[in-house]
Each structure stands twice: as structure tokens, then as C-alpha cells.
Chains A and B, each alone.
Chain A
């Protein structure tokens, strides 16, 4: 079984992103870049399936600028077998990403595609669902548990009402949630070992896909600020303050 995993290059989650004063975008030049945290969880799950003998190959894919090869490097150091960089300048939107993955799936024929449920930059939460739609495959989103048995995956999903379990025939597309696993740390020997792993670069333009970047962003604004409130000194004061607001 082959598993394809997407690794998006995003501003590291520890960076506090701010809007540029002129509203033209966010100030992220020079910010620390990392693999989207959900994508690391996706990769960890793929590696565990391989280690459990359920999968034979894990291929990591990143789409973006040449520097996305750093995220491929991270994926290979974590343990993926090979990497594919689909190179393009500038940001792409989820529909384009899904079309790129669909193109790669046609070529690679993976049994599972595992993606993060959302990227922490655009917070769109779309690519896995869109890919499943384009491939006419099952989708199991927001996975917190994945069990593969032959040609079927049993996936527990984190939904608002609680935990939903689905059974999907493979091939299928999964998106993963936070509680699925804790990604492994990379050790130095892993980085050395990864140096010789195969890396392929494909120009996005050469894939012949129609752009799905339909949304034009016309303005960036900082979020509306809440006014700082009052500090009360004890519980009776807190109760009085709540009563004054008519909340108790």
C-alpha cells in the first residue's frame, strides 16, 4: 500500500502574525517557517501504518516555492521514503492544491492520501475534501483514530457532537485532527540518512491543471480588539460585577 502525505510550508505556529500597517498583507518576511502542524500528524500516521506493516511506501508532497524543499527534507528525516516538490511562485488556494494532488494521484495511484485538516495560515479546511471530490473517493475528515484492515479503513472522526466512526473503502482521502497522534522528533542521524532519499521537483505549470485560485483578497485588517476590562479583587466583587451586568 502506498500513502501520499501533503506537507504545507507555513509560518511557524509560535510566530504571532500581524497585519501590515497599509493593509496589503501580513508581515511574515523572515518569519520562521515550518511544516503545518496538522500535516506532521498526517505524516506520523502514515509512518505508523508503514511500521505496522500496513503500508510499504510513504511519499511526501509539498506545493510552493523552491524553499518548500525544506519541508520535504523534514518529512524525509521523519521517515518518508521519497519526496515530490510541486514548484510554483506565490500562494495557491485549496482548489488548486486539490487539483495538483489529483494529478499526482493519477500518476502515483496511492491507496490513501492523508492531509492535515487545515493549514494554520489560511485556516481554510478544504483541500482533503476537495481532493476526495475530484477523485470521487471516500473522505474521512478530522480523524482521531485510523485503523486499516485490507481494503477498508475504519476512521474515528472528531465531530461537534462527539466521535463518529466511518468505514471507507480504499482508496480514500483522510484529513487528520490534533488528537490522532504525537509526531516523532527528528534525530540527527535521521537527517543524515534522509540526505540520500529521492527528491523530485515538478513545475506546477507542467501539470496542465486549471487554476482554482478564484478568490481575490482585497484587504487585510487586524481583528477588532476587545476593550481591556476591570480586575476585581475578590469573589464578592466578581459577583457584584456580574450582577451589575445582569448576568447573574
Chain B
């Protein structure tokens, strides 16, 4: 039987929804028993949230002052201390999980399955390569720990209403001090988080300037939506990099994605293909974004967006 450990992602006492998506992925493995590890300086609040995720057997807390910030080099030895009890160790394919999980895999001497999109069986998974231009089925060897990151856009969050047991793990492993947290400059403000927002409004190169990009923020605020940007817009300095959607940015799956002035390079499309409905507004009728958009409007964004905002 599969025993799966999921490493919880959290910040400021809040469990990241990516954790419940990992649970959803893990629950696709038949007969799996699922535990969540919460590493934190004070794990109580996050553990309580994790315990409510349906399908979780145990939440194991690893309290340590060194866990105040999610440093991969500090987390890894603690995860490794309990990894031997599990057949699988999963983390989200967010910057948190991407940073941490390969460090665990290498120490276990196993390959990592990155960006799991679908579970075929306990050792077989589907994942994207070449910016999502191909989906490969990969088989991890039986008899070794499976370390994987879960492409969160591919899984709905497991529901709440669970009541997992919370257990503290006593641990005495040496932790490195060669890596020190200095600061975290958070973007976003009060807007919904790009990766979990129900609606996302995204702007591209056609906005033309950082000043004009304000239109995207205004429209998003009107819709109570998260804000995204194409790589072109970020590279041109119109929007900060944590808004980038695509192969090398964030992979998102909102119910409604509104692409404004985005041509739709494959690297961008790979970040949105799990969106429920894609709306594209672009004045170039030939833009590739219209190939994937559910609703397209060929129009000048400087006219169409204000008109749209006025009508809502």
C-alpha cells in the first residue's frame, strides 16, 4: 500500500491551497494513506488547517525556530528524517516545492517526477515537457521512494471537512546555518492571489507601458480578479515578475481568464490551458491566442476595456 507524505506550503500562518491540491493528486493513487508534514516555527495554526483537508490521515508537525522561513536546505534534512516511513513524498510545483523537492530526491538517490499532471498508477505519472507541447508518461522504479512535484493547476483542491490526527514529531537532526533568510518583499497587496483567483485578468505587450498597465489593475479590481501578465509585458517592465503566467512563470487554472493585448505565445498558453473559460481581447485577428480562446474579441484594448468596465 502507498504511504504518501505531502510537505505543506504555508506563509504567515496560512496554509497555501497548493497543499490541498497535492492531497487531491495523492488521493488518485488507489488505497493510499496520506500524511501532511507541517514544518514551522509554530505549526499549530497551519496544522489545524491541514487537518481539515478531507482524505488526510495524519498531520505531523515539525516545530523548530529554524523553520520560521521555508528554506529548502533547512527543511530537507527534517523531511529526510521521516521520509523513510513513506513510499511517496509529494510537494507542490510552486517555487516552494520546486526549490525543496529535488534536494530531497537527490539525498534519497532517486529521480524526481516534476509537474505531475495525472496519476496513472502508484509509480506512473503524466507530465509536460517542451512547454507543454508534449505530455509524457513516466514510470518511476518500484521499490524506491517516489519524489514528485504536483502541477497544482491540474488538480482541484481536496475538499474540507476532514479531521486528521495532529501529531508532533520530536526531531534532533543537525540543520545547516550556511543559508540565511534576509527578507521577503511581497507583491500583490489586497488583490486575490494569481494562483488561486477565480478570475484572472492578464495584460500583454500591447499595453505599451507600465502606466497603461494600470488599466489591467483597474479592470481586475472591478471584477475582484487576480492580475497576470505575459512574459513580454514583464520583460518590458510593465508588470512585476511575480505576475508572469506561462512556462517559466506561473501555471494557473482560474474559472475565467481574460487575456488583454496578449498574442498567445506557446510559452504563455502552457500556463493557462487548464483555465475554465479563456477570453481574449486583441486587435490582431491572427493572434494565436484566438486559437485557444473560448470567446474572442478583435478590438483595440484601449477602447474595449474601458467600455467593458463601464458596462459592468
Query: Which has the most chain B C-beta neighbours within 10 Å: A93, A220, A235, A241?
Result: A235
Q: Report A-chain residues with C-beta under 8 Å of the C-beta of B141.
A: 214
Task: Give the docked Cα–Cα distance between A94 and B101 (Å).
Answer: 13
What DSSP secondary structure best describes chain A's contact surface? mixed
Instruction: Please give, as numbers and ranges, the residues of chain A lying within 8 Å of B234 by CB-CB distance.
Output: 179
Report yes or no: A242 in contact with B295, Cβ–Cβ below 8 A. yes
Closest CB in chain B relative to A134 CB, distance in Å = 6
Cβ-neighbour of A142 out of B99, B128, B180, B187 (below 8 A): B99
Tell whether, in the assembled complex, residue A133 and residue B279 are in contact, meaning their CB atoms are under 8 Å apart: no
Q: Which residues in chain B, 160-198, are within 8 Å of chain A measured between CB atoms? A: 176, 178-188, 195
Contact of A247 among B103, B136, B255, B292 (CB under 8 A): B255
Assess whether B115 is interfacial by the CB under 8 Å rule: yes
Number of interface residues of A (CB under 8 A): 86
Within 8 Å of chain B (Cβ to Cβ): is A216? yes
Q: Which residues of B contact A137 (CB under 8 A)?
A: 178
Indicate if the CB atoms of B112 and A161 lie closer than 8 Å: no
In B103-151, which residues have CB < 8 Å from any A CB? Answer: 103-107, 109-115, 124, 128-141, 144
Q: Are B110 and A159 interface neighbours, CB within 8 A?
A: no
Task: Tell me the minimal C-beta distance from A47 to chain B in angstroms.
Answer: 21
Contact yes or no, A239 B106, CB < 8 A: no
Interface contact B235-A178, CB-CB below 8 Å: yes
Contact B102 A238 (CB under 8 A): no
Interface flags, B189-232, vs A, CB<8A=1, else 0: 00000010001000000000000000000000000000000010
A226 close to B99 (CB less than 8 A): no
Question: Is B68 located at the chain interface by the 8 A CB criterion?
Answer: no
Q: Are B299 and A231 in contact (CB under 8 A)?
A: no
Within 8 Å CB of A238, what residues of B?
A: 279, 281, 295, 297, 308
Check B304–A121 contact: CB distance below 8 A: no
Tell me, yes or no, whether B266 is within 8 Å of chain A by CB.
yes
Check A95–B110 contact: CB distance below 8 A.
yes
Are B73 and A160 in contact, CB atoms less than 8 angstroms apart? no
* Contact of A158 with B95 in the complex, beta carbons under 8 Å: yes
Closest chain-B Cβ to A132's Cβ sits at a distance in Å of 7
User: In whole angstroms, how far apart are the Cα atoms of A127 and B311 in the complex?
Assistant: 50
Instruction: Name the residue of chain A whose CB is nearest to the CB of B98.
Output: A125
Partner of A130, one of B105, B248, B277, B296: B105
Please, which residues of chain B bring their CB within 8 A of the CB of A231?
A: 290, 296-298
Closest residue to B115 on the A side, CB-wise?
A123
Taking CB atoms, residues of chain B closer than 8 Å to A242 are 256, 277, 279, 295
Within A111-170, the residues touching B (CB, 8 Å) are: 117-118, 120-134, 136-142, 144, 154, 157-169
A41 to chain B, nearest CB (A): 11
User: Which one, A124, A129, A230, A237, contacts B103 given CB within 8 A?
Assistant: A129
In the bound complex, CA of A169 to CA of B177 (Å): 9
Q: Is A201 located at the chain interface by the 8 A CB criterion?
A: no
Please encode chain B, from 62 to 94, with 1 for each CB lying within 8 Å of some chain A CB and 0 for all others: 000000000111001000000000000000001
Partner of B184, one of A120, A163, A217: A163
0 or 1 for each of A7-46: is its CB under 8 Å from B? (1 = yes): 0000100001111000000100000000000100000000
- A218 and B72 in contact (CB under 8 A), knowing A126-B105, A247-B255? no
Q: Is A198 an interface residue (CB 8 A)?
A: no
CB–CB B290/A160 < 8 A: no
Q: Which residues of A contact B231 (CB under 8 A)?
A: 178
A16–B111 touching, CB < 8 Å: no
A221 close to B (CB within 8 Å):
yes
Contact, CB under 8 Å: B279 / A215? no
* A154 neighbours in B (Cβ, 8 Å): 182
- Residues of B near A132 (CB, < 8 A) are 73, 103
Report how far A217 CA is from B127 CA in the complex, Å.
10
Q: Contacts A18-B133, A213-B111 hold; do A160 and B242 have CB atoms under 8 A apart?
A: yes
Identify 11 new A-B residue pairs, CB closer than 8 A, beyond the known A123-B114, A139-B73, A248-B312: A16-B266, A95-B109, A133-B102, A163-B184, A163-B242, A213-B111, A217-B137, A219-B137, A226-B273, A231-B290, A239-B312
Interchain residue pairs with CB less than 8 A apart (14) = A19-B133, A123-B131, A158-B241, A160-B250, A168-B179, A177-B241, A219-B136, A226-B273, A235-B297, A238-B279, A238-B281, A245-B294, A247-B255, A248-B312
